[in-house]
Structure 1
Amino acid sequence: MATKRAKDLVAEANRNVETLSGAEAEKLVSDSDVVFVDIRESDELQKTGTLKGALHVPRGFLEFQADPTSPTHKPELGGGKKLVLYCGSGSRSALGANTLMEMGIINIAHVAGGFPALQQAGAPCEEAKQ
């Protein structure tokens, strides 16, 4: 039985979804037709901060909050705007974006290098809450 490793799944996801550099993503921050989605865990946000105005949806809840039939649905994930996912490195966001594509959300991308890439590109960030 052939098995896939996590890095294989991430590589496959990166082939399937639009991947933005931190600089490319930073140019979209002020675009009202783009929703940035921080899929890191709450403790990660508390340590490092987040992108100003980003929607926080932990990776474990992403599919449920994107599904309009779910009681935990977040309308921001289905309003027809481009979704740009990011995490701590770009792996979880690639997997999440790929899954959302499988759910029928097609206007989606993720940030290679995750939150650190956005910070390095000069994206407006909110400080960590201590």
Structure 2
Amino acid sequence: MRKGYKAMLDEAMQAIVTLTPEQAAEHLNKPDVVFVDIRDPRELERDGLIPGSFHATRGMLEFWIDPESPYHKPVFAEDKRFIFYCAGGLRSALATKTAQDMGLEKIAHIHGGLSEWKKAGLPVQDWKPKDKK
């Protein structure tokens, strides 16, 4: 193996902006900020999410960001600041680096992810998928 996940994380952490949960919380409810939850649906069902978050599973991220992809999501073409998070901050660090490499400029991730967010006593809401009543 040429490069493992630890080396990839080290590279990402040197290149991206990392916010503490408290710093990220200062951006809640701002119209020019989108919190992006990259966890899978089982995690959202089990643990909830940061209020108002946009859900983009890690496996589709590159396709949803690229405007030339048939799966492109218009939210990623908006002039907004994107704050990525996952459960513990590892996947979101890699996702943030990827999104940055793809051209998103105002971007950061939350150190420690949703786990640290919850430990800080910050708000979490239940996830209600669109296809469930």
Q: Partner amino acid for 2:95?
A: G
State the alpha-carbon separation in 2 of the partners of residues 103 and 3 from structure 1. Answer: 23
SS in 2 for 1:12: helix
More strand by share: 1
CA distance in 1, matches of 2:127, 2:102: 32
Contact 1:25–1:118 (8 Å) recurs in 2: no
Q: How far is the alpha carbon of 1:30 from its aligned partner?
A: 2.1
Letter in 1 for 2:91: R
Amino acid aligned to 1:84: I
Residue 32 of structure 2 is aligned to residue 33 of structure 1: yes
Give the residue type in structure 2 aligned to 1:124. P
For 1:116, the equivalent position in structure 2 comes to: 115
Per-residue Cα deviation, 1:7-33 (whole angstroms, up to 9, x for no partner): 111111011010001111111112211
**Alignment TM-score, normalising by the size of structure 1:** 0.92
Q: Deviations over 1:30-56 (max 9, x none)?
A: 221110000001111111011111000
Partner of 1:9: 8
Q: d(CA) in 1 for partners of 2:127 and 2:65?
A: 26
Q: Secondary structure at the match of 2:36?
A: strand
TM-score (norm 2): 0.90
Count residues with an aligned counterpart.
129
Post-superposition CA distance 1:42-89 (Å, at most 9, x none): 111111011111000000000100111112111111201000000011
- 2:21 matched to 1:22? yes
Cα distance in 2 between the residues matched to 1:31 and 1:41:
25
Change (3 A) 1:82 1:48: same
SS at match of 2:18: strand
Cα contact 2:36–2:55 (8 A) shared by 1 = yes
Q: Which moved more, 1:67-76 or 1:83-92?
A: 67-76
Runs of at least 5 residues in structure 2 that lack an aligned partner in the other structure: 129-133
Matched, 1:51 2:56: no
- RMSD of aligned Cα (Å): 1.6
Report deviation, 1:106: 1.1
Identity, % of aligned positions: 41
For the residue of structure 1 that corresponds to 2:103, the secondary structure is: coil
Measured in 2, the distance between the counterparts of 1:88 and 1:32 equals 24
